[in-house]
Amino acid sequence: MSEVEWIKTILPHENDLGNRLTKLTNNIDDTNTITFEYANYDDVGNRLSCKIDDANAHDYDVLYQLITTDYNDGNVVDYYYGKLGNRTHQKLQPKDAISVICAIFTTC
């Protein structure tokens, strides 16, 4: 078995028509795997998002900085950066934000 065939056996993957990686499955052991899905690319082929095991989705800006993490539980975290590219703060958007607003105003 060649090295390329061995890698394809160990790390099953899928590519799109542009030969860009869209899915990579890493076999941790005989029963556990972790799958990475890459759905969005920019015009020059850089990944703009990554989803891991149908759990968390990550989105990136044009400078490849993490801008959003969408957790499987419905919570979303947005990340903000200063002029020099350093992360300045993050903001949690709880999944129950509508429920909280309704509880405050009691008119939903």
> The tokens of 77 are what?
């975290």
> The tokens of 71 are what?
């957790």
Residues spanned by the domain of 93: 3-105
pLDDT of residue 32 exceeding 70, the answer is yes
pLDDT of residue 58 exceeding 80, the answer is yes
User: Contact 62/79 with Cβ under 8 angstroms?
Assistant: no
By percentage, how much of the chain surpasses pLDDT 90? Answer: 12
- pLDDT band for 100, please (50, 70, 90 cuts): very low
Per-chain mean pLDDT for the chain: 76
The more confident residue out of 101 and 25 is: 25
Res 102: pLDDT: 40
Which helix or strand (DSSP H or E) is residue 63 part of? Answer: none
Number of domains in the chain: 1
